[in-house]
Amino acid sequence: MGSWARSAGAGFLRACVVGAVGLAVPAGWAAGVALVIWWHSPWTLLPVGIWVCLGTFLASRPICRLVRYLVARWTGTVVAGGYRRIGAVTRMSTGYWWNGHSYERSQQRAREDLELRLRFTDPATWRDLRFMAILPLAGLAAAVPPAGVVVAVLGLTQPTAPARVVGVLGALVAVAAAPYAWRPLAPLAVRFLRATPEMLLADRVDELLAQRADTTVAQAAEIRRIERDLHDGAQARLVALGLALATAERLWPPIRTGRGR
């Protein structure tokens, strides 16, 4: 009995978390629709739709990372992300930074531009957006125990017998479903959120390219240092040699060119 109570309590808390995460995006869309209806103007449909779509796009990656974290923490199953790495940016001799696509004035701006380009071209981005349409299924399943608790509270506080019966049934449903309501999240994440072999291969290639870029930058810096040292050392020796020759010319007696008779 004690183990069941602990399992039900932990399951209820996990179900609340999964329900909040899984229904966050649908709640945002519902709020957008309600806002359009409340304003009673068709002209609000476009800006509200743009903001809702942009919010879904920006929230997709953090939500998917949170889902991976929850699945790994609760079940021990690691779901690889497969996100492509941001490559290195290189400072050119002109002072601009090259990120592989464009020249920027600062390193931060070059990395931001590269990150934005990568966000739209990374296949993992569109996989995350697809998962945003599947995640509400786990959210609905996880919402059963909290909904049962709400029904139990509302029913048991009513004076009528039928309402109290409904409240008791809600409590039973909440207790029975609590240990299992959050569990659909793990298979959904493993099936639809894991990285494909192509993504893992691309991630490995990006890692090797980043390492090569770092090595190339380090080698270029070392070559510039060696060239500077050689140039400075040779120049110093030439100056010293010139001074020595000038001193020798002053000390050496002039050579007479006329012939003696």
Can you give the pLDDT at residue 149? 92
Report the distance separating Cα 125 and Cα 119, nearest Å.
7
CB 89 within 8 A of CB 200: no
CB 21 within 8 A of CB 67: yes
Can you give the pLDDT at residue 211? 66
Question: pLDDT under 70 in the chain at which residues?
Answer: 1-2, 87, 197-214, 216-223, 225-236, 238-261
Can you give the pLDDT at residue 261? 41
User: Is the torsion defined by CA of 62, 64, 68, 70 positive or negative?
Assistant: positive
CB 244 within 8 A of CB 252: no
In the chain, where the domains are located: 1-82+137-195
Determine the distance from the C-alpha atom of residue 210 to the mean position of all C-alpha atoms in its chain, rounded to a whole number.
17
Phi, psi of 125 (to 5 degrees): -65, -45
Can you give the pLDDT at residue 112? 81
What pTM was estimated for this model as a whole? 0.70
Q: Give 7-25 pLDDT, tens digit per residue.
A: 888 889 999 999 999 999 9
**Residue 90 tokens, joined:** 């290189």
Amino acid at 170: G
Q: Give 202-239 pLDDT, tens digit per residue.
A: 666 666 666 666 676 666 666 676 666 666 666 667 66
